[in-house]
Every structure is written in structure tokens, then in C-alpha cells.
Amino acid sequence: MRVDLRNVIVNPSVRLPFRIELETEGLDFPSVKGYRKPPEADVEVFSEAGILRLQGTITADLLCVCDRCGQEFESVKVTKVDAVIAEEESEDNPELFVLEGTEIDLQELLSTCLILDMETKFLCREDCKGLCARCGRNLNLGPCGCGKEIDPRFAVLKQLLEK
């Protein structure tokens, strides 16, 4: 989605709000099974000391798969966006986002922000206990019948004593 920022470029006191739904095509992550609805961006473009900035949030309603136990879970991810939009590319100051004429592709800019902010690890909860290495039971649902693992330090001690 291309938007024209001419208004704010010509008149620095203008603030341009945008509310758009992002297309999720290309927004694929290994642990994200899907989007429960299109991510919503609520942002504003304004000029600050001669520099164009875009600030706001992207809210994504995700259906994720836990990296530890494999269960699906829902998660609402809020990405804070604070981007500088350069008027032209320059080699000594490479900017991520550059105007094309007076336009910018908001979908592309916001997708990039979301990708850069995406977690590298997805857990259904911070203290997810994962699966038992022996029987595969989801240990969040309670202990399995495999018995307590022997502390590796005790295992070494036991070997020594047995010698």
C-alpha cells in the first residue's frame, strides 16, 4: 500500500495518521501457524527537525506453536514502530526506508518492522515444562510415570561409589 507523504513534507506541522491492515503474505515465521486476523497498524507520520518519522504500533493476533511442548496457543503481539523515512539514499547514512518521490510503501515498511521485532523463540508460557524426553508426555499437564530424573551430579557420584 503506497501512500503519499507530500502533505507532511510540504507542511511540517501536519501529522498524517494511517490505520491499515497488513497483508500477511510473506509474513511467515516457523512458529507462527497463522494470523487470527490481519495485523493492524496504527501509525502517524510527522516531521521532526526536518526529518520524517513514522511512529505507532502494529498489533498482530497470532496463532503460535510452542517451541518447547508443541502446543498451539494464541498470542497478541504489539510492535512499537519508530522509523525514520529518508528523502534519499545516501551512502554514509544508509537508511532502511527511503521515499520514492513523495511516496512510501507502508505495507513494506510496516512488514519490515514486524519482521525485525519478531521473537526468535515462542513459548506457550514462560515456564513451559516441555515434553518428557522419554515418553513424550506434555509435562504442563502433570508429571508422567517415568519417575524423577537422576541429577547428573549424583549419577557421577554413584558411579564412583560403585567402583
Contact footprint for Zn ion (CB under 5 A): 66, 68-69, 124, 128, 132, 134-135, 144, 146
Nearer to Zn ion, 60 or 66 (CB): 66
Give the three cell numbers for residue 135.
515418553
CB of 127 to Zn ion, least distance (A): 9
Q: State in angstroms the smallest separation of the CB of 75 from Zn ion.
A: 12
- Nearest approach, Cβ of 28 to Zn ion (angstroms)? 21
Q: Which is nearer to Zn ion, 112 or 140 (CB)?
A: 140
Q: How many helices (H) and strands (E) does the chain have?
A: 3, 7
Amino acid at 24: T
Query: Among 59, 43, 114, 55, which residue's Cα sits nearest to residue 82?
Result: 55
Instruction: Give the residue with the Cβ less far from Zn ion, 78 or 133.
Output: 133
Dist CA 6 CA 9 (whole Å): 5
DSSP 129: -
